[in-house]
Amino acid sequence: MSIDFILPDIGEGIVECELVEWLVKEGDIIVEDQPIADVMTDKALVQIPAMHSGVIEKLFYKQGEIAKVHAPLFSMKVEGSMQVESSMVADDTGDQAEDKAASNDAPVATSEVKPVVSSESSVEPAQEAVKGKAVASPAVRRVARELDVNISEVTGSGKKGRVYKDDVVAFDQGGVLVPTAQVSPTRVEPIRGIKAVMAKAMANSVSTIPHFTYCEEIDMTELIKLRLELKEVYAKQDIKLTMMPFFMKAMSLALKEFPLINSQVNDDCTELTYFNDHNIGMAVDSKVGLLVPNVKQVQNKSILDLAADIARLTNDARSGRVQSTDLKGGTITISNIGAIGGTVATPIINKPEAAIVALGKLQTLPRFNDKGEVEARSIMQVSWSGDHRIIDGGSIARFCNLWKSFLEKPSNMIVHMS
């Protein structure tokens, strides 16, 4: 039985496509899922596979011609009809075919037609069925041409004898790639819980907020020295003093001078809300996904108060037990990605906030001092992302300069603390 293969609707309103290359010719025996042709739409190059096993009877287009969607692309005789016809011929010939076979006076009539392999056959006969026309992608065929390899002579290690690049390379080097057990290269798992919430929030942020990035470097040498001195003192009181309390307190002091950075705009960008409280969030890489708990009212807290809150929130987040109230009401966020690695980033704003900063890793780098002498300094790169609907480059630069001055000169920060 002959059937026409109708060019399917490839999607996105495509009504026609260019026939780039036929991967078969009329008379070829093909198997199900074997690539038949490459067609080019105005979006991408698409490979058309066979829906049935059988023999190609007619190709309706030449290379370079425009094929129409919902019109026949090629016709073929499907595998089932070939089996029926073969059995009918065998019944009609009867003993005559047996006599011819026994006397060897003439070759068997079906010797030039490769047998149709049933679904119970082994992989090896299936490969013989397509011998002469390898099952391979255009990229693999291109590799074969570049290596001057006849791809039809290459034994494929893939499903149904599909030839891969490694098969061609191995053949070119004089060997044959040993087929390995078929292992699925992918797995699918549902996105649930915190990861699902994060995925939706990040997509919503980048699609609705025009982000811009501003980068700066901060000399942390003096602050690191101060923190090391204080760390030993407060460790005896079971207070873990990290760098984060200093980052938050310095940021809060800068926000007093630049309240715009601590504001939020409504969805249709008609109103701007300024917040008196500085609820500074910190991104935590927890076992359940990215969590951003925030320390409430940083403007009213001391460095030691912040250290206690940060330790509690970090432990809760990493164990996945952070309270919902600690995740709500944030006004600005710090991402300490440098604790893992990296120097610069383009952080995504935690909507509806207006800004976020990513802290890079500390690096010991050479810098000139006031006397023109080279010194080893502890340098950190910071990367800001701002909502460009309400924050311009000048605003973020001036705000960052003030924040930077507090971090580079801790004594300046202490003076400004109430």
Cα(130)–Cα(31) distance, integer angstroms = 7
The whole-number pLDDT of residue 96 equals 43
Asked if 392 is an active-site residue, the reply is: yes
Closest C-alpha to 16, from 8, 24, 25: 8
Least confident of 221-225, 231-235, 342-346, 404-408: 231-235
Which fold is adopted by the domain 1-112? Answer: OB fold (Dihydrolipoamide Acetyltransferase, E2P) (2.40.50)
- pLDDT band with cut points at 50, 70 and 90 for residue 243: very high
Same fold, 134-182 and 193-416: no
Domains of the chain, residue spans: 1-112, 134-182, 193-416
Q: Between 152 and 288, name the one with better pLDDT.
A: 152
Q: Please state the rounded mean pLDDT for residues 156-183.
A: 71
- pLDDT band with cut points at 50, 70 and 90 for residue 106: very low
Among residues of the chain, what percentage have pLDDT more than 70? 80
Cα(295)–Cα(287) distance, integer angstroms = 21
**Exposed, middle or buried by CB within 10 Å (0-12, 13-18, 19+), for 114?**
middle
Q: Is the pLDDT of residue 177 over 60?
A: no
Q: What angle do CA 61, 153, 122 make, to 5 degrees?
A: 95
Distances (CA, A) of 289 to 43, 196, 198, 285, 296: 35, 9, 8, 6, 22
**Exposed, middle or buried by CB within 10 Å (0-12, 13-18, 19+), for 390?**
middle
A 10 A CB-CB count for 144 gives: 24
Q: Is the pLDDT of residue 159 over 80?
A: no
Q: Between 121 and 323, name the one with better pLDDT.
A: 323
Cα(101)–Cα(383) distance, integer angstroms = 83
Which fold is adopted by the domain 193-416? Answer: Chloramphenicol Acetyltransferase (3.30.559)
Q: What is the CATH number of domain 134-182?
A: 4.10.320.10
Least confident of 29-43, 47-61, 313-327, 381-395: 29-43
Q: Between 296 and 186, name the one with better pLDDT.
A: 296
Given a contact cutoff of 8 angstroms between Cβ atoms, the answer to whether 286 and 320 are in contact is: yes
Cα(247)–Cα(292) distance, integer angstroms = 16
The whole-number pLDDT of residue 192 equals 67
Query: Tokens 């190059």 appear where?
Result: 45
Q: Between 409 and 88, name the one with better pLDDT.
A: 409
**Exposed, middle or buried by CB within 10 Å (0-12, 13-18, 19+), for 360?**
buried
Among residues of the chain, what percentage have pLDDT more than 90? 50
Per the structure block, which two tokens stand in for 45?
Answer: 């190059």
Q: Please state the rounded mean pLDDT for residues 159-188.
A: 71
The whole-number pLDDT of residue 166 equals 83
Closest C-alpha to 133, from 111, 170, 160: 160
Query: Tokens 């409280």 appear where?
Result: 277
Mean pLDDT of the chain: 82
Cα(86)–Cα(108) distance, integer angstroms = 13
| pTM, 2 dp | 0.57
Q: Is the pLDDT of residue 2 over 80?
A: yes
Q: Which of 6-10, 65-69, 266-270 has the highest mean pLDDT?
A: 266-270
Residue tagged active-site, from 52, 211, 388, 416: 388
Q: Please state the rounded mean pLDDT for residues 349-375.
A: 96
Could you write out the three-class secondary structure of the chain? Answer: CEEEEECCCCCCCCCEEEEEEECCCCCCEECCCCEEEEEECCCCEEEEECCCCEEEEEECCCCCCEEECCCEEEEEEEHHHHHHHHHHHHHHHCHHHHHHHHHCCCCCCCCCCCCCCCCCCCHHHHHHHCCCCCCCCHHHHHHHHHCCCCHHHCCCCCHHHCCCHHHHHHHHCCCCCCCCCCCCCCCCCCCCHHHHHHHHHHHHHHHHCCEEEEEEEEECHHHHHHHHHHHHHHHCCCCCCCCHHHHHHHHHHHHHHCHHHHEEECCCCCCEEECCCCCEEEEEEECCEEECCEECCHHHCCHHHHHHHHHHHHHHHHCCCCCHHHHCCCCEEEECHHHCCCCCCCCCCCCCCCEEEEEEEEEEEEEECCCCCEEEEEEEEEEEEEECCCCCHHHHHHHHHHHHHHHHCHHHHHHHCC
Residue tagged active-site, from 9, 42, 166, 392: 392
Q: Please state the rounded mean pLDDT for residues 206-216.
A: 97
Instruction: Check whether the bond before 49 is cis (ω within 30° of 0).
Output: no
The whole-number pLDDT of residue 14 equals 65
The letter for the amino acid at 290 is L
All residues at 6 or more sequence positions from 307 whose CB lies less than 8 Å from its CB, including other chains: 234, 239, 240, 241, 242, 245
